[in-house]
A and B are shown apart, each in its own frame.
Chain A
């Protein structure tokens, strides 16, 4: 099994619908992240969480919300999806004991299309 699992792998949804992307990890890491990848823009940070009670906005949080249900689970919600939220979404984890200096561990991504 993958260390960081994202579901669904692909999703097509309609404008205005609420959608949740889920992420779970078996790395035992305490820090979790949501990134968005767009062509020509690279990966940009949406939200991050350093522990269950700590949620922080990233570079592009507008239109998104997150929930850290447990140390191993971090979900991303789009309350009312719009077409420009069509993108590839990545969940990542890191360990506070090393401060992420060895890089983050990424899931396989969720490709979201909003029509």
Chain B
């Protein structure tokens, strides 16, 4: 079975501080991983995916197969980064599994 674990329900950081949102996965095959974000009163939307190896809004995420992790990082948090973040895994049978989400709160 495939599983995504986001251990933190809430992460509070000060503006300008580094951010790391943790995501660990369990999947026997080769995973495709994503980060989705939901800003207040907005729809859930894709932030980035590991195959693109891109930086979006200053966020990056590296797939570490050895540690089965896909942590989301940003060197300097901004107030507008406050949102709910979900890690997601595309695994077997074309199913996507989402984690339980982490609420990021950036304190001014």
Same complex for A and B? Answer: no
Interface residues of A (CB under 8 A from B): none
Point out residues on B near A: beta carbons under 8 Å: none
